[in-house]
Amino acid sequence: MLSVRAVIFTDMDGTLLDHADYSWAPAKKTLARCEREGAMVVPTSSKTRAELMLWLKKLSLRAPIISENGAGAFPGTLTEGVKLFSDELGCEPAMVFCVPIERVRAAIEALRDKIPGEIINFGRMTLEEIIEHTGLSHEEALLAAERDFDEPFLWKPEPTSAELSEVSMHFAEYGLVMTRGGRFWHLMGGCDKSVAVRWMKKTLFAPGTPTLALGDAPNDMGMLAAVDKGVLMDEDDRGPKRWAREVSLWLDGLKEKK
């Protein structure tokens, strides 16, 4: 098991990263404090593993990752504990919790005529359209398109509750579930971030290791319930500034409990 004093599972967009421009500047000092105090920051996101590997480099994090809304867990930049990831994906160690992206996209095509409105999913978007809808750079958009499990999509116009219920039942027949993220709807196999978080807590970290999770959207709720303390960002108070404040308060509280 990994020797850490605490673990912070964090969503990325709208949580550690600014929703509009992806900046993390207000969180830099707190990230440095996490490293000093042995609190491991684990990106737990709808982003792909390729995207998260880039973010580990940008943020100078030595940590595992949880990608595509909990569909997969990977060693990331860890050098120890890699053998605990007993599956394999693309010749890399992994823990796989969901069905592959090909099955998800096939279900969308099979049900497209039954879905009211228009579904615009990543599999049908050009790279330019992904850039337009996400604000990502060309390089980042390429990484976002490298999907293993989870398919983001736009649904226009926004569905009514009755339409959402009906379409959810259609997808459930394929063993798939929908969830709402900060920018997109997401379709994936029957798992969420909580499954990967619980596996990681049980497998990688010693029992009793303090855990915190932060997120800003409905697809984060399972993760927030799977840790000692969960923080749901307010729509008007989210991003790296709020992230830094919440993490700092939590770390202060851990010191007081000693």
CATH number of the domain encompassing residue 27: 3.40.50.1000
Q: Which of 241, 177, 201 is nearest to 29 (CA)?
A: 241
Per-residue pLDDT reduced to its tens digit, 169-180 = 999 999 999 988
Q: Which of 48, 15, 69 is nearest to 196 (CA)?
A: 69
- Give pLDDT, residue 247: 98
Do 92 and 131 belong together in one domain? Answer: no
- Give pLDDT, residue 91: 86
State the DSSP code for 233: P
Do 92 and 107 belong together in one domain? Answer: no
Do 211 and 168 belong together in one domain? Answer: no
Return the CATH number at 176: 3.30.980.20
- Give pLDDT, residue 187: 94
The residue-averaged pLDDT of 32-41 equals 97
- Does residue 231 lie in a domain region? yes
Per-residue pLDDT reduced to its tens digit, 209-223 = 999 999 999 999 999
Rounded Cα distance, 223 and 197, in Å? 7
Rounded Cα distance, 191 and 97, in Å? 7
The residue-averaged pLDDT of 104-118 equals 93
- Give pLDDT, residue 64: 98
Do 71 and 144 belong together in one domain? Answer: no
Question: Considering its fold, how many domains does the chain have in total?
Answer: 2
User: What band does 17 get if pLDDT is binned at 50, 70 and 90?
Assistant: very high
Please list the active-site residues.
Answer: 11
| Parent domain of 109 | 101-189
Give the pair of three-digit tokens for residue 52: 């998260």
User: What band does 182 get if pLDDT is binned at 50, 70 and 90?
Assistant: confident
- Does residue 56 lie in a domain region? yes
Domain end, chosen from 164, 189, 214, is at 189
Do 83 and 120 belong together in one domain? Answer: no
